[in-house]
Amino acid sequence: MTQLQPYSALAVSPVRSRHILNSIPTVIYVLAITANGFRSQWVSDSVKRILGYEVEEALAHNWWTNCLHPDDKKAVLDKTSILMTKGRLVQEYRFRCKDGYYLWMQDEASLLRDANGQPKEIVGYWTNITERKQAQEEEERAREQEVESGELNQSTNRIAVHLVVAALIVGSIFLLLANKGSLTEGMTILGVTGLAAGCSLALVLAWRVLGSDKRLDHILNSIPTVIYVLGITAKGFPSQWVSDSVKRILGYEVGEALGPDWWVGCLHPDDKKAALDKTSILMTKGRLVQEYRFRAKDGHYLWIRDEASLVRKANGQPKEIVGFWTNITERKLAEEQAAKAREEEAERFELGRSSDRNIAFGLLIAALIVGSSFLLFHIGPLMWGTTIFWLAVFAAGSGLGLRFFWRMLKAGKY
C-alpha cells in the first residue's frame, strides 16, 4: 500500500500556486472594502489570457464598472449590496473584452471576515460561460421552433379535418339534388349517408371544442385558488378576468371583483402601503409573491398569498399579468399560535430564572441579617470595633431586605 506523504512534502510552493491560479479557466480577484466601495487589490494573470487586459488595466479605478454591458450594469450594481448582508453573491452578466466583444461571465464572490467578525476583503472569480449561454440560447430557440412547428402542424391538421367534414356535407347535398334517372335512388341513399356522416363529424368537433372549454372552466374554478388576469395600461393594472372561485373563496361575485379599485379597497389598512409599493417589482423582475390580509364579502379579513407573473409578447413587451390568490389564513393562524406558544415558553423560562435569582438574593439577605445578629449576640461588651462592623452589616442587610420586599410588592410578584 502506498503511504501518504507528510503534509509538508505536499505543500505547494508560491511559484506553483501562481501557476495553478493562472492556469485554471477563471480570473481570480481580491477586493478591499473601503468607505467608498470596493477597490481592486489583486487580480490573476489569467485576466490577460481570458479577457485580453493587462493586470495593471484590470486594477484601474472603475475598470470593472466601465466594462459591464449597458443593459446589465444597473442590475449588477444593485446586487452588490447582497454581498455585504449574505456574505456570498453569484451573478451572470456580459463583460467587454479588450477586443471590444462581450463575453458572458459568471461572477462568484465571497466576503471574508477577520477574527472579530468584521468584513476584511472580498475574494471571487470570473468564469467565461459564453459557450454555455450560446448553447442555452440555441436550445431555447430549438424548443420554440419545435413548439411553433407543433402548433402549425396541429393547426394544419385541424384545417384538413374541417375540409373533409365540409366536403362530406356539401358533396352529400349535391348528390341529393342530382337527378340521374335510374341511379337517383342509389345516389339519394349515398347522399343521405354522407350527409349524416358529415353532420355527425361536425357535431363531434363542436362537442370536443365545447367539452374542452367546459373542462378548462371546471379546472379553473375547482382549484382552491382565485385566478385573475390584469391588463397593463399607463394608469395601472385593470382587472380583465377572474375565476368564478372568487365567489366560493372570498364571497364576491365576478362582477364585483372586476370593479375598479376593488382589490385596493379590500386590502387591510395596515398592509395596503406595503402591497402597493411592491407592485413595481413585478414589472422589473417579472414575478411577485407577497402575503397580505384581504377583506372577504362578510367583512372578515383573510390572509392571502398573491403570486403574480408578467406575461410578455413575442417582441418582449409586457402583455398582461396572470396570477392567483390562495387563502393561507389557517397556516397564518397556526404560525401565530406557534409563535405565541414560543413566547409563553420563553416567558415561563425567564420567570423561572427570575424566581431562582430572587430566592438566591433572599437567601443572601437572610444570611446577612441572621448571621450579623447572631454574631452580635455572642460578641463581648468591650469589642466595640467588631460590634460596630456587624451592626453596619445588619443595617445593610435589613435595608436590602426592606427594598427587596417593597420591589416585590410593587411589581405584584408577592
pLDDT in tens, 57-84: 999 988 999 999 999 999 999 888 888 8
Reported as a pLDDT band with limits 50, 70 and 90, residue 332 is confident
Q: Are 263 and 239 in contact (CB under 8 A)?
A: yes
d(CA 93, CA 87): 20
As given in the structure block, the three cell numbers for residue 110 are: 465571497
- Starting at the edge strand found earlier in the chain, the sheet holding 102-113 runs 37-43, 26-34, 119-128, 102-113, 88-96
Cα 192 from chain centre: 63
**DSSP string of 22-56, one letter each residue:** HHSSEEEEEEEEETTEEEEEEE-THHHHHH---HH
What pLDDT, on a 0 to 100 scale, did the predictor assign at position 328?
A: 85
Whole-prediction pTM: 0.41
* Helix-helix angle 384-411:329-378, to 10 degrees: 160
pLDDT, mean of residues 30-44: 85
pLDDT in tens, 285-311: 888 889 999 999 999 999 998 888 888
DSSP secondary structure code for residue 13 in this structure: P
SS (H, E, C) 203-271: HHHHHHHHHHHHHHHHHHHHCCEEEEEEECECCECCEEEECCHHHHHHCCCHHHHCCCCHHHHHECHHH
Q: What Å distances lie between residue 38 and 32, 63, 71, 92, 123, CA to CA?
A: 6, 12, 22, 19, 11
Give the residue carrying C-alpha cell 449597458: 70
The more confidently predicted of residues 351 and 23 is 351
Would you state the pLDDT for residue 99?
94
Task: Check residue 282 and give its pLDDT.
Answer: 85
Q: Calculate the CA 220 to chain-centre distance.
A: 25
pLDDT at position 59, please?
93
In this prediction, what percent of the chain has a pLDDT beyond 70?
59
pLDDT above 90 for 102: yes
Type and span of the H or E element at 176? helix 130-177
| Rounded-to-integer distance, Cα 319 and Cα 307, Å | 17
> In sequence order, what are the residues at sequence separation of 6 or more whose Cβ sits closer than 8 angstroms to the Cβ of residue 30?
40, 41, 42, 43, 121, 122, 123
Question: What is the predicted pLDDT for the residue at 219?
Answer: 45
More confident residue, 2 or 225: 225
